[in-house]
């Protein structure tokens, strides 16, 4: 069921930020996405990835990178994911949210492209090094380069 909501939020985002400014702010999905990104890292990342993989033209993506993706990274990337009881028993090394993001970036040109629009800011050096290693390169000051095509 959550996939349906993610798809709807993604479609609303793409419509809102790919077209002329919306006159009715109540239709803007940014507020809902911000709440999800801030409080539910797994769902927030799922919505971000859904938008990256649905916007065929890419017109809404610079706003996604500057807003929800940047917020998600700065809020959650350095945080450890709660281990399951089995993982704790096996004494598996901790998994961090940045690992999940990097895993997605390694197989998705659009995620690598999007990471080019992220700046270090308050990120610790270790998380920043992971982003720099996998991203397609920093965006120029003039604006983002063309978005890669969807390859799914």
149, part of any domain: no
146, part of any domain: no
Task: Give residue 23's pLDDT.
Answer: 56
Quote the mean pLDDT of the chain.
Answer: 88
115, part of any domain: yes
Task: Give residue 35's pLDDT.
Answer: 92
Q: To which residue do tokens 């990274």 refer?
A: 73
Task: Give residue 78's pLDDT.
Answer: 87
90, part of any domain: yes
Separation CA 119–CA 123 (nearest Å): 9
Q: Is 108 left (phi over 0), alpha (psi -120 to 50) or beta?
A: beta
The pair of three-digit structure tokens given for residue 131, joined into one six-digit string: 């982003």
Task: Give residue 47's pLDDT.
Answer: 96
Separation CA 118–CA 107 (nearest Å): 18
Q: To which residue do tokens 């028993």 refer?
A: 89
- Average pLDDT of 142-151? 90
What's the pLDDT tens digit per position in 35-75? Answer: 999 999 999 999 999 999 999 999 999 999 999 999 999 99
81, part of any domain: yes
> In terms of residue numbers, what domain contains 85?
2-134
* pLDDT over 90 (residue 116): yes
Give the chain's domain count: 1
Nearest to 143 by CA among 68, 51, 66: 66
97, part of any domain: yes
């Amino acid at each position: 069921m959550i996939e349906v909501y993610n798809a709807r939020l993604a479609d609303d985002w793409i419509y809102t930020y790919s077209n002329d400014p919306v006159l009715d702010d109540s239709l803007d999905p940014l507020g809902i996405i911000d709440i999800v990104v801030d409080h539910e890292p797994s769902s927030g990342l799922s919505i971000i990835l859904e938008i990256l993989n649905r916007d065929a033209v890419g017109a809404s993506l610079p706003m996604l990178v500057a807003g929800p993706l940047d917020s998600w990274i700065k809020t959650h990337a350095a945080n450890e994911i709660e281990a399951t009881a089995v993982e704790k028993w096996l004494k598996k090394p901790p998994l961090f949210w940045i690992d999940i993001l990097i895993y997605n970036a390694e197989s998705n040109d659009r995620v690598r492209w999007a990471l080019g629009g992220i700046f270090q800011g308050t990120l610790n050096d270790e998380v920043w090094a992971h982003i720099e290693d996998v991203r397609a390169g920093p965006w120029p000051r003039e604006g983002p380069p063309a978005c890669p095509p969807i390859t799914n």
